[in-house]
């Protein structure tokens, strides 16, 4: 059973008051001084509550409604053929409940239109969160407008996110990043996700570029033949509070840059496969020492929102062997560090949130 950073404790027990962890240790020792309700989980492996570092809950009504395996342009066309932004409250509630049942205690949600509503739903259901208002488009916000609402929530905070280099103006991305940094929040951005992005960032061309242009969303990336990571670096978007999501199409030089800038990487393996974008060089990214975590992405590009299933997919396909602690860190401690919430999440220690998950039996063999 997992207690503090990467440590395994047999006969593990956790004492909490509903809000904070009061004490952890071996039950045989703790029970002598404990009186209160006891919940015996049986012979299971307990881990810290899982953290989903990338999801779009406003798309929760789109399960099974998009094409699979045909690449990003076809996927986005099928996405846009659906009603997108009238929030289906019930679908979002069901998605949050599904995440909780599969052990997720915290998520980074990205919303284009419904940030405040999704935040309220997560708050009501006790899901820890960053509700990120995603900046997309090239029109600068009106004078005095903020990148995200400054509302108080019980279980989370609002934050800003950038959609991507190709769909969001450079000055806007820099503004969101600055606002997140000033508030001590992470800055998530989809980065190096697909071939379409490569072409737009480098040359401003392609079918997808034409679609974006038609919608008034094509950002001027300078057409200097740069790779997405190079361009993001040039814009000053890469540092230790950046959460670069996807990183499918990164070269060894790109990985060096991300590492040097201490960027956190969120991999979304099943989403990339679902869309047909290929897969990130997981092995190189993880072995480089980059702080790496996992996200499911939205149900519009995945089969479910279970991080256990995400981890299982990664472990079954990755070509290096990951020790259990390193594998589990991808959905717990690494994510907590990336999101700057490691004072409350990511390990089961005194003072942190009493949220935990148990390893599903079929994953025990894969992990241990």
Min. distance of Cβ 127 from Zn ion in angstroms? 18
Min. distance of Cβ 296 from Zn ion in angstroms? 10
| Cα 171 → chain centroid | 24
Of 53 and 105, nearer to Zn ion (C-beta) is 53
- Give the integer Cα–Cα distance in Å for 51 and 308: 11
Min. distance of Cβ 35 from Zn ion in angstroms? 47
Could you tell me where the beta strands, DSSP code E, fall in 247-308?
264-267, 292-294
Tokens for 251?
Answer: 């070269």
- Give the integer Cα–Cα distance in Å for 346 and 361: 21
Min. distance of Cβ 246 from Zn ion in angstroms? 8
Of 16 and 177, nearer to Zn ion (C-beta) is 177
- Give the integer Cα–Cα distance in Å for 7 and 307: 21
Min. distance of Cβ 34 from Zn ion in angstroms? 44
Nearest C-alpha neighbor of 53 from the set 307, 365, 309: 307
Of 58 and 297, nearer to Zn ion (C-beta) is 297
Residue 283: C-alpha distances to residues 38, 70, 322, 341 (Å): 42, 25, 10, 26
Query: In 3-state terms, what secondary structure has residue 119?
Result: helix
- Give the residues lining the site for Zn ion (CB under 5 A): 297
Of 192 and 355, nearer to Zn ion (C-beta) is 192
Min. distance of Cβ 205 from Zn ion in angstroms? 23
Strand partners, 315: none
Contact predicate 96/121, CB 8 Å:
yes
Count how many Cα atoms sit within 13 Å of the Cα of residue 41 in the half-sphere of its side chain. Answer: 16
Of 254 and 297, nearer to Zn ion (C-beta) is 297
Of 233 and 297, nearer to Zn ion (C-beta) is 297
Contact predicate 233/284, CB 8 Å:
no
Min. distance of Cβ 275 from Zn ion in angstroms? 10
Residue closest to Zn ion when measured from CB atoms? 297
Of 192 and 367, nearer to Zn ion (C-beta) is 192
């Amino acid at each position: 059973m997992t207690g503090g950073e990467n440590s395994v404790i047999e006969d593990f027990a956790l004492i909490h008051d509903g809000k904070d962890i009061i004490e952890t240790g071996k039950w045989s020792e703790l029970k002598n001084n404990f009186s209160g309700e006891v919940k015996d989980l049986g012979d299971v492996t307990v881990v810290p509550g899982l953290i989903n570092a990338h999801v779009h809950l406003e798309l929760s009504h789109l399960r099974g409604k998009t094409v699979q395996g045909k690449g990003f342009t076809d996927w986005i066309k099928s996405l846009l053929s659906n009603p997108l932004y009238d929030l289906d409250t019930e679908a979002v509630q069901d998605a949050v409940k599904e995440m909780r049942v599969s052990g997720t205690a915290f998520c980074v949600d990205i919303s284009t239109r419904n940030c405040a509503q999704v935040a309220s739903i997560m708050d009501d259901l006790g899901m820890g969160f960053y509700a990120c208002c995603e900046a997309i488009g090239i029109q600068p916000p009106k004078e005095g407008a903020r990148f995200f609402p400054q509302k108080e929530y019980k279980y989370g905070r609002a934050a800003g996110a950038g959609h991507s280099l190709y769909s969001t103006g450079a000055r806007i991305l820099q503004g969101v990043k600055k606002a997140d940094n000033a508030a001590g929040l992470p800055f998530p951005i989809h980065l190096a996700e697909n071939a379409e992005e490569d072409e737009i960032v480098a040359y401003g061309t392609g079918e997808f570029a034409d679609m974006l242009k038609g919608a008034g969303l094509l950002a001027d990336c300078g057409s200097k033949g740069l790779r997405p990571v190079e361009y993001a670096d040039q814009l000053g978007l890469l540092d230790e509070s950046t959460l670069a999501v996807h990183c499918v199409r990164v070269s060894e030089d790109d990985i060096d840059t991300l590492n040097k800038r201490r960027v956190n990487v969120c991999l979304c393996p099943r989403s990339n496969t679902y869309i047909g974008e290929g897969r990130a060089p997981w092995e190189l990214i993880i072995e480089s020492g980059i702080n790496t975590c996992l996200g499911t992405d939205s149900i519009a590009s995945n089969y479910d929102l279970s991080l256990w299933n995400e981890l299982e997919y990664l472990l079954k396909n990755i070509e290096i062997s990951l020790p259990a602690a390193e594998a589990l860190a991808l959905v717990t401690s690494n994510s907590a560090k990336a999101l700057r919430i490691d004072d409350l999440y990511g390990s089961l220690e005194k003072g942190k949130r009493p949220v935990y998950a148990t390893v599903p039996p079929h994953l025990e063999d894969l992990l241990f």
